[in-house]
Structure 1
Amino acid sequence: MANWSLLGYDGPEPPEHVAAARQAAGRTEHIFQMINSSITAATSLDCDAVVIGSGCGGAVAAALACAGHRVLVLEKGKYFSMSEMSGVEGEALDQLYERGGVVSTEDTGLAVLAGGTFGGGSAVNWACCLRTPDYVRQEWATEHGLKRFAIDEFGDALDAICKRINVTSIEISHNRNNERFIDGCQKAGYEVEDAPQNMADIRAGFICAGDRYEIKQSMTVTFLRDAAAARIPAQFADRCKVSEVIHSKGVAFGVRAAIIGSDGQPHQLTVRARVVVVACGSINSPALLLRSRLPNKNGLIGKNLRLHPVSFVIARVPAGAPDVVSWEGAPMTAVSNECARGPFGDNYGSKLECPGLHAGLGATGVAGLSKPGKHFKQELLNLRRMT
């Protein structure tokens, strides 16, 4: 942070300004209560449904509470209230992201950014809400036998989710980074369109470091809050790592976990439930299923992970052009599908988008990273002009 002024990097607003902005907008944060405060020894609990993971999947499952079921949501990451978030990029990576933002393959050839806090990926994503394309759903159904993704009910489910988190393409305001992207696409003759969002606000540039303003319709603002406000409120636990799903004859009936109690020490937690929902992400879910030695007749658990590689291209605007300041405003509000069909027309192509560029992420893509330190530092001084 000592070099922010040299880079022209503004950094996040101080907490008092954030609180004032929330108050002026009439937004009242819901403070979630964790059962950790009542745990001091090995504990056994019973419920109707135990949900492993509080991200986008787990939060929707938590809506079972709204139907009158007793629901317990277990999250291995820590819960941070808005006032506990600093908005600082480095601190957010340490606190809110899986493994500090460094989840990679063994050969480090591919890295994954994933949420590692209460609310999962919805707590740190860029609020760009792209629906699963029809051609992807059709491929899943025809080539992999996953027929449910091709039926109308799946489309209805997408509609319901988008409605609850208020996804819209109306009156989207583009920051200078996205304006330049749109202009470039149009000059190149590329198709480009507004990307649906579940928030829109001038302060949205820092949402990747936690939604301190409550401007994004993340899970803590929508589905998890709905579950907490149910007639029989859902219960929640953070810093609770599930070691295995308990099952017998192919039927799951609970979980075993280690939970950090009120004394700051780990304690064994056993939960018995009629329904067990494993929703801890595409990487951790199959790992849990394998650890649990659940029936795996076709041997496919953990074998079908597919990732979308992302390549960054960073450029500098010409001298005399207005600064881009890509960390101001909503980060990803436009998308081009010009190359989406791919070179062979099989829909294995690429989408073109613009993320927000903060000091840390920007530094990793600066030209000269492999050159002498002085050259790298000189390049980084152009941070405000990078796009």
Structure 2
Amino acid sequence: MTVQTIQAKDLHQKINAGVSMLLLDVRTSADYLNWKIEGQHLQSVNIPYADFLADHEKAAANLPRDTEIVIICNKGNSARLVAEQLDEAGFHVSYLVEGMLAWSQFYHQVTVHEDQDMKLIQLNRLGKGCLSYMVISGNEALVVDAGRHVHEYKQLAESQNVRIRHVLDTHLHADHISGGHELALATGAKYYISSSELQGSSSLQYEALEQHATLHIGTVEAKVLAIPTPGHTPGSTSVLVNDRFLLSGDTIFVGGLGRPDLGGKAREWAQSLYDTVFNQIANLSDEIVVLPTHFADLKEINEQGYVGATLGAIRASNEVMRTADRDAFTEKVAGASGATPPNYEQIVGINRGEIHVTTEVATDLEIGPNRCAVHHS
């Protein structure tokens, strides 16, 4: 028996186009509540695979027969078996190939800005809420906060007919594995990160970001200004591109600020974040567009299709950024961090070059949503 399949890219296109369909997620209820595929006006229901094993007719009793049903599981196997049962029963079904595993590794590209001097592309890893960027000028490119799937950036560079010259991490990531160092090695680019983030790691070759206040790419020389913005981590650095776009890492989100607790020094790092907000960032224009490295809610995707907002809009909607009292700010930020990212100690060790794992282990470590984009609105 052969049933219809759908790839992550095609599912995303259907969701974006508003195609009427029902996502049937057959993972456990706990897994579904923790992390699921979402979209505007998207219908989703959770009926665990165990229910279909026990009595597939009863499990399917309330499913619509006049609507396309896309079945989701962790890696595709359970979804395929349920799809076969429902197909035989006359339902209009398909299943997501490799399930949530594939969804977590899907990257969607959106052009944020393009003019004769520069092109700025956001790569949205929707299943993780992770964002990365390629800044292009002339025939050269800078990549910021690359995910571990380096082929995405190599293919994008090839399609744009550019050479990746610089690769930069705004900070040491705790919820996903960075592809920055590997991408730099693969392309002959230089890899930049603040030296304080690596804490003396000798296994990674890198350029200390604090020693390169300005980077230039392309024939027009797009200016990249590194601005120390500690708080989420001590060495967090935002990148200001052409005085117009602030690639803010995990310091400022559309809906909040970076969590300061992952180093076990929540109050101390929250006070650093206070200095960042009211000293470093305070001098930046409201017109600057903030482009973060994570997002927590699909509502943060704007009408242009990318995650970002002007600094003025974020200031207006984010109460904590207007909390000028240092103690009150510290209490709000340090007390609102939420669940710790799973496996974050191993992921930090990998990103620091101290731990090496197989691709399969890396995939398992990253499964699930990001936990860094905490809302403080």
User: Shorter-normalised TM-score: what interval?
Assistant: under 0.3
The structure with higher relative contact order (CA 8 Å, sep 6+) is: 1
What is the TM-score normalised by the length of structure 1?
Answer: 0.24
- The TM-score with structure 2 as length reference comes to 0.24
